[in-house]
């Protein structure tokens, strides 16, 4: 596993340092820089620049150091995670919250608006009224299904 991790690291040399999109400087631990240097949270930074929430703001070198530290003292870390995790456990049957960035949310809303802009109101063949959602109207009011060919 160690060999695979090191091979993956050599393939991604571009991840030695991460460039701050605010000031242009490069850092191994960008998350610390954006807080201490610009006084904004990582969440706000990712939203501002349209980055995914699950994107790491640390270099591969720092990531490997953190993984190695975890592996060396695994039992203590796992015990702490279990103890802290009790107050955040999911209840059976509940779904977890899905986080979306502001950029992702805007993209979805734009797709919905584009779809709605292309739709044309249609007249119901039964009651002669005009509906934006004719298929829903036919199914709910007249118990009919429209088959499109």
Residue 128 banded pLDDT, cuts 50, 70, 90: very high
Predicted confidence at residue 123, as pLDDT, reads 92
Q: Quick one: pLDDT at residue 126?
A: 92
pLDDT digits (tens, 9 = 90+) for 10-69: 444 446 889 999 999 999 999 899 989 998 888 889 888 888 888 889 988 888 888 888
Q: Which CATH class is domain 2-85?
A: mainly alpha
pLDDT at 97: 60
Q: Identify which of 20, 36, 38 has the alpha carbon closest to the alpha carbon of residue 28.
A: 20
- pTM for the model stands at 0.45
Gap between the terminal Cα atoms of the chain: 54
Is the alpha carbon torsion for 111, 117, 120, 121 positive or negative?
positive
* pLDDT computed for residue 74 by the predictor: 85
Looking at per-residue pLDDT, the higher value among 102 and 59 belongs to 59
**Domain ranges across the chain:** 2-85, 116-149
pLDDT for residue 7 is more than 70: no
pLDDT of 127 reads: 92
């Amino acid at each position: 596993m160690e060999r695979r991790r090191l091979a993956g690291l050599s393939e991604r040399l571009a991840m030695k340092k991460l460039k701050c999109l605010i000031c242009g400087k490069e850092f191994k631990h960008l998350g610390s820089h954006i807080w201490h240097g610009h006084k904004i949270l990582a969440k706000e930074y990712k939203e501002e620049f349209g980055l995914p929430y699950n994107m790491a703001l640390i270099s591969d070198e720092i990531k490997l150091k953190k993984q190695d530290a975890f592996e060396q003292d695994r039992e203590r870390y796992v015990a702490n995670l279990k103890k802290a995790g009790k107050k955040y456990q999911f209840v059976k049957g509940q779904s977890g919250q899905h986080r979306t960035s502001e950029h992702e949310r805007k993209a979805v809303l734009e797709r919905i608006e584009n779809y709605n802009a292309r739709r044309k109101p249609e007249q119901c063949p039964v009651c002669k009224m005009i509906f934006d959602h004719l298929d829903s109207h036919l199914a709910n009011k007249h118990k009919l299904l429209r088959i499109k060919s």
